[in-house]
Amino acid sequence: GSEKIIPKIRRLDQSVVNRIAAGEVVQRPVSAVKELVENSLDAGSTSISVVVKDGGMKLIQVTDNGHGIRFDDLPILCERHTTSKLSTYEDLQTVKSMGFRGEALASMTYVGHVTVTTITEGRLHGYRVSYRDGVMEHDPKPCAAVKGTQITVENLFYNMLARKKSLQNSNDDYTKIVDLISRFAIHNIHVSFSCRKHGANRADVHTIAACTKFDSIRSVFGVSVSHDILEITASDDNPDRSVFKLNGFVSNANYIAKKTTMVLFINDRLVECTALKRAIEVVYSATLPKASKPFIYMTIQLPHEHVDVNIHPTKREVSFLNQENIISTIQNAVETKLMNSNSILSKEIAV
Ligand code: ADP
Ligand code: MG
């Protein structure tokens, strides 16, 4: 009969559901690193070090000196939707931490092997425990520990063969990881960061806490970049509304690069905003037609309730209220800055 050709609907196994979702949160090694470093920042760390083997496919290890994880929380630490950062839906509007949905660690346990070592203040020893598919593989084992948390993720995508194959060029992801840590480092100047390949004695990113943003840009992106950047600030045209505040650095006419570097933090979250990036590129090509693609580091503060942080599983793109107005205010600020500096430059040349 005709019943045969109608496909039957079945409920997917929870483990299948979890692995599919996990593949969205952890798209590649660099996404795991981002989640781990954000957790370390959320834990109030002042020192974060990252070690990577085989572009992150073999090993990602993030060590911090943050507040650690309670012993009692270890059993549910890597379950999906367990978090210390959010309790009601309304909290999403005001949440200041970078994490909020309790999915990152869980996801990593569905697509890799996760081991957590952690100690909380006042304890004589820490605990170490490994996780698979959201649950502990054994009881936490007491171990020596100094302060904070170390999380290792091994054999990423061991159970997702297509993903594993497509990510075989591991150098590519190491470059992305170095770039990511560089971005965190220039923004979080109270934190010292390091990032190196497993077995290497030299770190590829290394910053010391408590320098200025300018110093950290110089140490991370190089002396030549630091020579060619201008400090920029902007805020709402209407001072009593004062809903938006911007500061950062943008490159001048002498800066040379093949592609745009845009480091954007909105309310201290590292995010992308394609519309803003394009808008600034337009200003550069109109104001400095001979200049190369720009370097931009911007931090934008907005009322927390104006930013929607929950539009993407990786939390990477955000949208915010009055986006068009704010973008055009920023365009004006960049244009004014570039025109002023350009006229200073050409006067210097004329003299
Ligand atoms: P989220 O960050 O969205 O809460 P995660 O899965 O990333 O979800 O982490 C779950 C919980 O584990 C966090 O809410 C936090 O309490 C704890 N945690 C994770 N990493 C660390 C860390 N490095 N230091 C202290 N606590 C951590
Ligand atoms: Mg998190």
Handedness of CA 111, 112, 115, 121 (dihedral sign): negative
Cβ count within 10 A of residue 234: 21
Structure tokens at 233: 């600030």
pLDDT at residue 1, as a whole number: 57
Domain containing 268 equals: 222-350
80-86 contact pairs (CB < 8 A, 24+) = 80/18, 80/21, 80/106, 80/107, 80/134, 81/106, 82/106, 85/42
User: Amino acid identity of 276?
Assistant: L
CATH number of the domain encompassing residue 265: 3.30.230.10
Tell whether ligand 1 has an atom less than 6 A from the beta carbon of residue 330. no
- Report CA Rg, the chain: 23
Q: Is the CB of 83 under 6 A from ligand 1?
A: yes
- Looking at the fold, whether 59 and 200 belong to one and the same domain comes out as yes
Pure H helices in 26-131: 29-42, 91-94, 104-111
In a domain, residue 229? The reply is yes
Instruction: Give domain status of residue 322, yes or no.
Output: yes
Q: What is the pLDDT of residues 165-198, one digit of tens each?
A: 999 877 789 999 999 999 999 999 999 999 999 9
Percent of the chain having pLDDT more than 70?
A: 94
**Spatial CA neighbour of 260 closest among 238, 236, 234, 278:** 278
- Atom 20 of ligand 1 has which residue's CA nearest to it? 39
Q: Are residues 153 and 85 in the same domain?
A: yes
* Type of residue at 246: L
185 and 114 inside one domain: yes
Among residues 206, 240, 259, which one ends one of the domains?
Answer: 206
If one counts the domains in the chain, the total is 2
Instruction: Please indicate whether residue 140, judged by its CB atom, sits closer than 6 Å to ligand 1.
Output: no
Question: Which ligand has its closest atom nearest to the C-alpha of 103?
Answer: 1
CA of 211 relative to ligand 2 center, distance in Å: 27
Q: What pTM value is reported for the model?
A: 0.93
* 329 CA → ligand 2 middle, Å: 32
Is 49 in the same domain as 143? yes
Q: Is the pLDDT of residue 347 over 90?
A: no
Q: Which ligand is nearest to the CA of 102?
A: 1
CB 155 within 8 A of CB 110: no
Query: Using a 6 Å cutoff on CB, does residue 39 contact ligand 1?
Result: yes
Do 143 and 235 belong together in one domain?
no
Q: Based on the fold, state whether residues 104 and 189 are members of the same structural domain.
A: yes
pLDDT score of 348 = 59
Give percent above pLDDT 90 in the chain: 73
**Which residue, by CA, sits nearest to atom 25 of ligand 1?**
68
173 lines ligand 1 (CB under 6 A): no
Shared domain for 49 and 151, answered yes or no, is yes
- Domain membership flag for residue 54: yes
181 lies in the same domain as 235: no
CA 94 to chain CA mean position, Å: 19
What is the CATH classification number for the domain harbouring 108?
3.30.565.10
pLDDT tens per residue across span 207-264: 998 788 999 999 999 998 999 999 999 988 666 666 889 999 999 999 988 899 999 9
* Whether 174 and 138 share a structural domain: yes
Q: Are residues 271 and 297 in the same domain?
A: yes
- Closest-approaching ligand to the CA atom of 116: 1
Choose among 39, 139, 148: nearest CA to 84: 39
CA nearest neighbour of 25 among 15, 14, 36:
36
pLDDT in tens, 46-75: 999 999 999 999 999 999 999 999 999 999
Confidence of residue 92 (pLDDT cuts 50, 70, 90): confident
Cβ of 104 closer than 6 Å to ligand 1, yes or no, is: yes
> What sign does the CA torsion over 277, 278, 284, 290 have?
positive
**Nearest to 152, CA basis, from 23, 45, 62:** 62
Rounded to an integer, what distance in angstroms lies between the CA atom of residue 257 and that of residue 142?
50
The residue whose CA has the least distance to atom 19 of ligand 1 is 39
pLDDT band for position 12 (cuts 50, 70, 90): very high
Asked if residue 346 has pLDDT above 90, the reply is: no
Structural domain includes residue 239? yes
Whole-number pLDDT of residue 242: 65
- 3-state DSSP call for residue 178? helix
Q: For residue range 114-139, what is the model confidence (pLDDT) as tens digits?
A: 999 999 999 999 999 999 999 999 99
User: Are 147 and 238 in a shared domain?
Assistant: no
Same domain, 236 and 192: no
Q: Identify whether 171 is part of a domain.
A: yes
| Last residue in a domain, options 147, 180, 206 | 206
Question: Tokens representing 146?
Answer: 């100094």
Residue 8 domain-assigned (yes or no): no
CB 77 near ligand 1, within 6 Å: yes
Q: Is residue 119 part of a domain?
A: yes
Among 50, 74, 83, the mutation site with the greatest number of ligand 1 atoms within 8 A of its Cβ is: 83
